[in-house]
Amino acid sequence: MKRVAILTIDHLALFELGCAVELFALPRPEIENWYETEVVTFENMPLQTIANIQISAKIIHNLNDYDMLVISSWPSESNNIDATLSSEIIKFFNDGKRIISFCSGAFLLAYLGILNGRKASTHWRYADSFQQKFPQIDYLEDVLYVYDGQLGCSAGSAAALDLGLAVIKDDFGYDIANQVARRLVIATHRMGGQSQFVQTPVHKNPDLFANTLDWACQHLNESININQLAEYAHMTRRTFDRKFRSTLNMTPKHWLTQQRIYLTKQLLEESKESIEQIATKSGFENATTLRHHFRKLLGVSPNQYRQQFHMSK
């Protein structure tokens, strides 16, 4: 069981703190060895936030008891870092433990030099300031988050959920990550590179559209016609296509391909089946078609991906 510390500070960002709590502190008794999480602070005083809200957190003096640190936010202009906090985070990182930051939290890691020579991201509104302050960091503008297994930075507030799901996937696998995503009412659409997710907004009447997506995900091995999906959602094809673009910013066909690649990645990581067998289970016409779409979306071949990420590795 991993012990998680969610770092809080004075004038903290409530939304990002809420994301961290929802992801890692919410009890999930149905999941074995779920995280044991505490909201902590190095500051010996009540913490002020927006709308005159005050919160209290567990006061600590070191991070020795924890395996993962979540930095929910940090003032972008503040390099005035408490000496104890600074030394503890640097020691935590040097010990090989995992640190993830949400939104402006990347500034704390940058001020401490932990991101030097590494890829990082933060909210677009801080992009210019971040790059000017930290030219030694490889800043990425076109990602939802950056995550390499030990360090992670989300590009914005809502992207904290995307990064959190990637962490959960690493620790518990695809099925549990999908289970948590459903509870959060977001969809896990993974892209290449930094394994990004595209968030699915909540609709006024989500059942028809969301259930259609769920049905498609459960029948990926079958030949799925877009007209069939529109009919399942009780929409005309034109309305369905428009809804898809406004919701997911892509066509239904592109989405289906992404879901099949998502399933392919899971099978490559968890099974030893041949590429031909995986192509059939993922709904591709043949292994050649699978390889084409896999390399197009991820930039590597299925075999290269398996060599890097298979669970027996």
C-alpha angle 163-165-169 in degrees, rounded to nearest 5: 120
Closest CA to 4 of 156, 168, 147: 168
DSSP reduced 3-state for 172: helix
User: Is the distance from CB of 125 to CB of 174 less than 8 angstroms?
Assistant: no
Whether pTM exceeds 0.85: no
Q: How many CB atoms lie within 10 A of CB 258?
A: 18
Residues in contact with 291: Cβ distance below 8 Å, sequence separation at least 6, in sequence order: 275, 301, 302
User: CA 311, CA 296: separation in Å to the nearest integer?
Assistant: 24
Q: Which amino acid is at 226?
A: I
Query: How confident is the model at residue 185, as a pLDDT?
Result: 62
Q: Which residue's entry shows tokens 């770092």?
A: 7
What DSSP string describes 247-274?
A: HHSS-HHHHHHHHHHHHHHHHHHH----
**Beta bridge partner(s), residue 6:** 39, 70
Query: How confident is the model at residue 189, as a pLDDT?
Result: 40
Query: How confident is the model at residue 197, as a pLDDT?
Result: 33
User: CA 220, CA 282: separation in Å to the nearest integer?
Assistant: 6
User: Is the distance from CB of 3 to CB of 68 less than 8 angstroms?
Assistant: yes
User: CA 303, CA 313: separation in Å to the nearest integer?
Assistant: 13
Locate 308 and state its tokens: 């890097």
Query: How confident is the model at residue 190, as a pLDDT?
Result: 39
Query: How confident is the model at residue 196, as a pLDDT?
Result: 33
User: CA 304, CA 57: separation in Å to the nearest integer?
Assistant: 45
Query: How confident is the model at residue 186, as a pLDDT?
Result: 61
C-alpha angle 249-159-107 in degrees, rounded to nearest 5: 135
**Beta bridge partner(s), residue 48:** 54
User: CA 246, CA 176: separation in Å to the nearest integer?
Assistant: 28
- Which DSSP state fits 51? G
Query: How confident is the model at residue 311, as a pLDDT?
Result: 65
Instruction: Report the C-alpha dihedral over residues 128, 133, 136, 141, rounded to 10 degrees.
Output: -20
Low-confidence ranges of the chain (pLDDT < 50): 189-206
